[in-house]
Amino acid sequence: MLSLIIWCCGIALEALLVYRGFRAKLLTKYSNFYGYIFVLLVSDGLGLPLYFKNQRLYESWSWFGGFVILFLGCGIILEIFRHVLSAYAGAEKIARFAGFVILGAVLGFAIVYHFFVTDPAAAKALYYRLQRDFLTAQAILLFGLLQVISYYGIRMGRNLKGMILGYGQTLGVTLIALALRAYIGVRFEPTWGLIQQISYVAALTIWLVALWSYCANPEPEATIGPDGDYEALATRTRSMVGAASTELIKVNRL
Amino acid sequence: MIQLISFLLIGALLLVSLYSFMRREQRAEGGSGALIEARQALNTLQAGLLPPELVGRIFARGDLEYVEAKTSKEIRELFLEERKKIALSWVSRVRKQVLSLRRFHLRSARFYAQLSVRTEVALAVDFAALLLECRALQVFMYVRGPYAVPRMVGSTAATATRVCKISEQSLAFLTPAYAGRMGNRAARS
C-alpha cells in the first residue's frame, strides 16, 4: 500500500515537474533532463493501470522501461557536464562527445537486448547486474565531475545544483542499496524497493524545488586573455611556487 | 565481500562529496575582489613571501643562546613559547599565500581550451608538496618548538628543483605585455 502511495506521489511529482518545465521554458534548456523525466512519466503513468489490469504484461514490459530509464539517466550526467562546463572551453566539447558515445552504445544495447531476451527472469537478473554496473560508472563520473568543480572553483546556479544533488543522492543511495541487496539476498528485497522509491521521490522533490524557475549559472569572468596565454600563466605560477619553496628551504637551513 | 565494500565505498564517497559540494563556499570570482586578492598574493610571493631578514630574525638561534645564557628557566620557556607562536604564524601565512596563488591559477586556467593536463597535474603535485611541507613544518614546530626544524631539506630542495626545471621550459612566454595588462586590470578594479 505504501509502495503504491509513493508510486502515485512520484507520478504527480513527475507531471508537476514537466508542467513547471514547460511554464518556465526549461524544456529546451535542459532537454536531456526533461527527456528523462518525460519517459519516466510515460512509463509510470502507463505502468500503473497496466499493473492492475494485466500484471504479467506489466512484468515483461517494466523491465524494458527500466532499461531505457537506466540508460536515459546518463543524459542527466550529460546535461550536467554540458551546462557546468559550457563556459569553460574545450572540456565541454570532450565531455559531450564522450557522453553521447556512451549513451548511444548503452541505448543500442538495451534495444537489441529486448529482441533477444524474452524471459522476464533472465531480464530481471541482467537488469540488476547492469543497473549496479551502470550506476557505478555514472557515480564515478559524477564523483569526478564534483572534484573538478571543487578544484577549479566552478560556480553554478540553483537549477544545476539541484540536478546534481537530486541525481547524485539517488545514485549513491541506489548503489548502496544494490550492494546490500546482492549481499543480504532476497529478504532485503522489500526494504530495497522502499529505499529506492523514497530516494526517487526525494530526488523528484529536490528537482521540483530547484527547477521551479530558470536560474542561470553565474557568468564567469575571465581575468586573462586568449589560449596563447595559458603557458605564460602556468610559467608564472610555477615560478611563484618555486619562490615559496625557496623560502621554505631557507627556513629549514636556519 | 570485496565487491560489497567497493560498491558501498563508491556510494558513500559520492554522498559525502555531494554533501561537501552543497556546503561549498561560493566565493566571488573574476571580479575586482578576486583580482585584488590575486594581485596581493602575487606581490607577497614575488617579494619572497616575507623579507629574508625577518625570516632570519624569527629563526635566529642567537636570541635563544642569549636568553639561555642570561636569564632564568621561566624566562627561557616564555621566550620559546612566544617564538613558537611567531614561527607558527609565519608558516601559516606562507601556506595562506600558496593557497591563494593556487586559487588564482585554477580560476584562470579553467578558461583555456588548450589547457595542458600534464602541466596541470605537475602543478597540482607541486602545490600539494608545498602545502604538505608547510603543514609538516607547522607540526614539527608545534611539537618540538621553533628551533627544532626537521631535516626536510632534501625533500624540499627536490620539490624546488623540479618546479624550477619545469618553469625554465616556458619562461619565454612570460611577456611584459601580459604583466602590464594584469597590472592595468587590477588598477582599474
Q: Inform me whether the C-beta atom of residue A155 falls under 8 Å from chain B C-beta atoms.
A: yes
- Smallest CA–CA distance from B185 into chain A, residue: A223
Q: What is the DSSP string of B51-72?
A: -HHHHHHHT-HHHHHHHHHHS-
Q: How far apart are CA B172 and CA A234, in angstroms?
A: 12
B109: pLDDT strictly greater than 70: no
Model confidence band, residue A252 (pLDDT cutoffs 50, 70, 90): low
Q: What is the mean pLDDT of chain B?
A: 67
Question: Do A245 and A139 lie in a common domain?
Answer: no
Looking at residue A186, the DSSP 8-state letter turns out to be G
pLDDT band, very low/low/confident/very high, at B171 (cuts 50, 70, 90): very low
- pLDDT tier at B32, thresholds 50, 70, 90: very low
Q: Give CA–CA dist A11/B71, Å, rounded.
A: 81
Note the Cα A73 to chain centre separation in Å. Answer: 6
The whole-angstrom distance between A43's CA and the closest CA on chain B is 26
> Residues A217, A236: one domain?
no
In this prediction, residue A206 has a pLDDT band, given cuts at 50, 70 and 90, of very high
Answer whether A222 sits within 8 Å of B167, measured CB to CB: no
**Same structural domain for residues A105 and A182?**
yes
Size of interface A-B (CB pairs under 8 A): 237
- DSSP label at A223? -
Q: For residues A106-126, give the mean pLDDT.
A: 64
If asked whether residues A205 and A174 sit together in one domain, one would say yes
CB atoms within 10 A of CB A61: 17
Categorize the per-residue pLDDT at A230 as very low, low, confident or very high, splitting at 50, 70 and 90: low
Query: Residue A44's pLDDT is what?
Result: 86
Chain A positions touching B45 (Cβ under 8 A) are 240, 243-244
A237 and A164, same structural domain? no
CB proximity B2 to A under 8 Å: no
B88 touches chain A (CB under 8 A): no
The pLDDT, as a whole number, for residue B167 is: 39
Does this model's pTM top 0.80? My answer is no
Task: Give the whole-angstrom CA distance, residue B83 versus residue B79.
Answer: 6
Averaged pLDDT, B24-47: 54
Q: Where residue A251 falls among pLDDT bands split at 50, 70, 90?
A: low
Residues A163, A169: Cα–Cα separation, whole Å: 10
Name the pLDDT band for A142 (thresholds 50, 70, 90). Answer: confident
Query: Cα A225–A230–A233 angle (5° rounding)?
Result: 95
* pLDDT (0 to 100) of residue A208: 93
- State the pLDDT at residue B157: 38
Lowest-confidence segment of A30-44, A87-101, B70-84 by average pLDDT: A87-101
CATH no. for residue A210? 1.20.1070
- Residue with the bigger pLDDT between A240 and B142: it is B142
Angstrom distances, CA of residue A51 to CA of A43, A58, B167: 11, 5, 67
Point out the residue among A140, A182, A253 whose CB comes nearest to the CB of B10: A140
Q: Are residues A9 and A27 in the same domain?
A: yes
Predicted confidence at residue A247, as pLDDT, reads 60
Given a cut of 80, whether residue A174 has pLDDT beyond it is yes
Q: Which residues of A86-103 are buried (b: 16+ CB within 10 A; e: fewer)?
A: ebbbebbeebeeebeebb
Query: CB A241 to CB B35 under 8 A?
Result: no
Q: How confident is the model at residue B115 (pLDDT cuts 50, 70, 90)?
A: low
Q: How far is B73 from chain A (nearest CA, A)?
A: 24
Q: Cβ contacts (< 8 Å) between A235 and chain B: which residues?
A: 167, 170-171, 173-174
Considering the domain architecture, whether residues A174 and A237 belong to the same structural domain is answered as: no
Categorize the per-residue pLDDT at B10 as very low, low, confident or very high, splitting at 50, 70 and 90: confident
pLDDT higher than threshold 60 for residue A220: yes
Domain match, A134 and A242 both = no
Please check whether residues A102 and A197 belong to one and the same domain: yes
What are the angstrom distances between the C-alpha of B95 and each of B27, B89, B135, B165? 19, 10, 8, 22
Q: What is the pLDDT of residue A207?
A: 92
Chain A: closest CA distance from residue B65 (Å) = 14
| pLDDT at residue B28, rounded to an integer | 44
Q: Is there a single domain that holds both residue A124 and residue A232? A: no
Q: Which domain holds residue A239?
A: 226-254
Q: Are residues A74 and A186 in the same domain?
A: yes
pLDDT tens digits for range A47-94: 888 888 877 777 777 777 777 777 788 788 878 877 877 776 555 655
Residues A198 and A251 in one domain: no
As for how many domains chain A has, the answer is 2
Query: pLDDT higher for B85 or B144?
Result: B85
C-alpha cell at B32: 575586482
